[in-house]
Amino acid sequence: MPVPATPAVPVVVGPIEVKVRRIHRRDLNRTWEFLKLVFRGVNKQTVEYQRPRSKARFLEVYEEDGIEQLLFEVGHPDGDVVVGYAECAYEISGSDNWMNERYFNNREMRPLFVEELAVHPGFQGQGVGRFVLEQIEHLARLRGCTHLVLEVAENNENALRFYRGRHFYKLDAAIFMAKKIDVAPDLLPPRQLSKRPKPVPVEGVDGAASGTAKRAPRKKPATP
């Protein structure tokens, strides 16, 4: 099936077959570019940045153990096109993660954390996301995980619809709340004085008005 050509949508002719494989180091740069493209729109809607936060963090993840990074590609004569990416972790990872591990332990849950799930905008709504999710679920089952756990912004409506349609339910509610404050400048407005100012001597002018007596120039001491 031909896909319309725009800078963001690569032309793929014929039936579209999506393959999955684990990521290699050489894929990192183009995968980062792919993620920027996918999340550009999403990040305009949400308070929190949808991951990944930075390229540096993305590159770090590749070096970490216990993380699956999967690429979903469509064959193309100029080189395979990344149409999907998934990242999941068997443990709570990253120094900036504030997930509470005990929550899961107390409920005898062994989660697979889905850190990232992204489909190329030009390929959304065609079943790629379904394939990505089935692949993640397959890995979870093989590793004895009991749940897939992920974080999604409530106003990321496409993603929410996608997850809800696939039996995801709400675990906890981190809601971003805001209250409007009546804005007031921190500095007070100009104020009118009730009396006229007294005349003040002007600094640096000769004579008494300057407040300093004019000194006679120093004479050079006579040499013997």
Binding site for ligand COA (CB under 6 A): 38-39, 42, 50, 117-119, 124-130, 150, 152, 156, 158-159, 161-162, 165
Q: What is the smallest separation between the CB atom of 43 and ligand COA, expressed in angstroms?
A: 9
* Residue nearest ligand COA, Cβ-based: 129
Q: Residue 138 and residue 145: Cα distance in Å, rounded?
A: 10
Q: What is the smallest separation between the CB atom of 1 and ligand COA, expressed in angstroms?
A: 14
CB-based burial label for 38 (10 Å; 0-12, 13-18, 19+)? buried
Q: What is the smallest separation between the CB atom of 92 and ligand COA, expressed in angstroms?
A: 17
Residue type, 139: L
Q: Residue 67 and residue 89: Cα distance in Å, rounded?
A: 4
Between 118 and 136, CB nearer to ligand COA = 118
Between 24 and 130, CB nearer to ligand COA = 130
Between 45 and 212, CB nearer to ligand COA = 45
The strand order across the sheet containing 81-89 reads: 18-22, 67-74, 81-89, 111-119, 147-149
Q: What is the smallest separation between the CB atom of 85 and ligand COA, expressed in angstroms?
A: 9
Between 93 and 156, CB nearer to ligand COA = 156
